Amino acid sequence: MSTTQPQGTADTTFTMLPEEHEDQEPSSSKDLSCIQDSLPGIAHRVFRKTAQNNKLCLYLGNRDVVVSNNSSTKIHGIVLVDPDLLKDTKKKVFGQITLTFRYGREDEEVMGLKFCNEAIMCLAQIYPPHENAQREQNTPLQDMLIQRLGTNAHAFSMEVTHLAPPSVQLVPAKEYNGAPIGTSYDIRVYIAERADEKLQRKNIVKMGIKVVQMASAPPPPTPTPRSDQPKGWRQKGPQATSEKPFLLSDGKVTLEANLDKSIYTHGDPIHVNISVKNTSKKVVRRIKVFIVQHVDVCMFSNGKFKNTVATEECTDVPILGSGGSLEKEYLLYPIKARTKNWIALEDSLGSSVNKSEGSLSSTVVCVSPEDRNVFAIYVTYYVKVKLLIGAMGGQMSLKLPFTLMHTSSNTYSTECKDTSCPSLGPCPLVESKEVPIALDEPCSNNLGL
């Protein structure tokens, strides 16, 4: 990311990235340009989007709002305004964070029917600042952008409530290329006399953002008393025990399973330890271990569906009766795959994805029934272990719930390999090519930067 510089000079770079997927709206932003500043040892990427009228430009250093522990992070940005737009003293620059909840396919909207709702989560007057607004100190990134862009650049900060539903995108089972379905957010900046004034599309600059729910360290698990723990049994995460007696025969089948931890980050393998003891005369003919994604769309009472995102079958069967046993560890990797139901994936920041793209959604939990949001899509995961018992023995199973989330170490799926990057935070979620330019080369776009 950083460019080669003579010894003793700052190696900091700022990479400007345009918004690539913005409701299929054209953007006049150039591909990529790189600017440098005087912050030593820091590298950071900046997203840029220009309105269709080429007179309003939005810069964001981060597009993720992290919700955790009854708090949420703020979005800090810069708005560059053409002076001609503010010649009328009644004109003001407004910004808002909008929640968009789409609950149906766009190609099925006919006769004015819309399967989409919007809610304004935050509204702010960026310039001139409102007389009652609390003045916030600019971030180092905002200061350097203002120094670079000039007096027509105005800093702003906005935030949403910690109760805002996280961003989740639903992908239908059938092929779909319309507007993304699910819960999504965007920042809209516009110039008007009033905040509620009807606007023309060409006078608005809009950029997608994400609301991410972050996991905290869980409390240590309470061990369940067991008379005979298998050698090497690890009691660290969720565990469960199930027993199946038989009406017309002696003995029973005992199934025990546990996970190595309760919170997993994206890409981590799920370690499942199982122990089967068969003291009956039946034979355990099949063992299946799989991970299920459960989705709950709050707006609808029947909006619940499940998908299998990983599966493994045991080959060490059958387990004979009268003392047969099995102890084994499975490694499962939850991944997106072809499913018969809608599947929940990570928000793609304004672009529609199919099941071959994107990654599985993080766990979205409801803290309490009182906080249940009608625009929320709750996503949970659990491991299910199922045994098939022969000779009319039926089936037995158990579930091990776990959390799949971002943590402080992997909030972003794409991290910069430059060791200087974490000074201002992790890199954003978009892979891109970087084109460095000389320090004294002006930034080229039609706003005269």
Tell me the CATH number at 342: 2.60.40.640
**Do 270 and 243 sit in the same domain of this protein?**
yes
Residue 162 pLDDT: 87
Residue 17 pLDDT: 61
Domain presence at residue 151: yes
**Do 253 and 204 sit in the same domain of this protein?**
no
Q: Is 290 left (phi over 0), alpha (psi -120 to 50) or beta?
A: beta
**Do 32 and 129 sit in the same domain of this protein?**
yes
The pTM for the full model equals 0.77
Q: Is 61 left (phi over 0), alpha (psi -120 to 50) or beta?
A: alpha
**Do 46 and 194 sit in the same domain of this protein?**
yes
Tell me the CATH number at 178: 2.60.40.840
**Do 41 and 124 sit in the same domain of this protein?**
yes
Domain presence at residue 398: yes
In this predicted model, what pLDDT tens digit does every residue of 379-438 receive, in sequence order?
999 999 999 988 788 899 999 999 998 765 444 433 333 333 332 333 332 233 333 322
**Do 183 and 280 sit in the same domain of this protein?**
no
**Do 25 and 162 sit in the same domain of this protein?**
yes
**Do 298 and 203 sit in the same domain of this protein?**
no
Domain presence at residue 78: yes
Domain presence at residue 182: yes
Whole-angstrom distance, CA of residue 137 vs CA of residue 217: 31
Residue 415 pLDDT: 35
**Do 338 and 363 sit in the same domain of this protein?**
yes
Q: Residue 201: which residues within 8 A CB-CB, separation 6 or more?
A: 25, 52
**Do 388 and 418 sit in the same domain of this protein?**
no
Please give the single-letter amino acid code of residue 318: P
Range of the domain at 207: 13-214+414-423
**Do 352 and 210 sit in the same domain of this protein?**
no
Domain presence at residue 441: no
Residue 153 pLDDT: 94
Domain presence at residue 342: yes
Domain presence at residue 436: no
Report the candidate in 145, 205, 140 with the shortest Cα–Cα distance to residue 15. Answer: 145
Sites in the chain below the pLDDT cut of 50 = 1-12, 20-41, 218-227, 231-233, 409-449
In the predicted model, what is the mean pLDDT of the chain? 77
**Do 19 and 131 sit in the same domain of this protein?**
yes
Q: How many domains, the chain?
A: 2
Domain presence at residue 92: yes
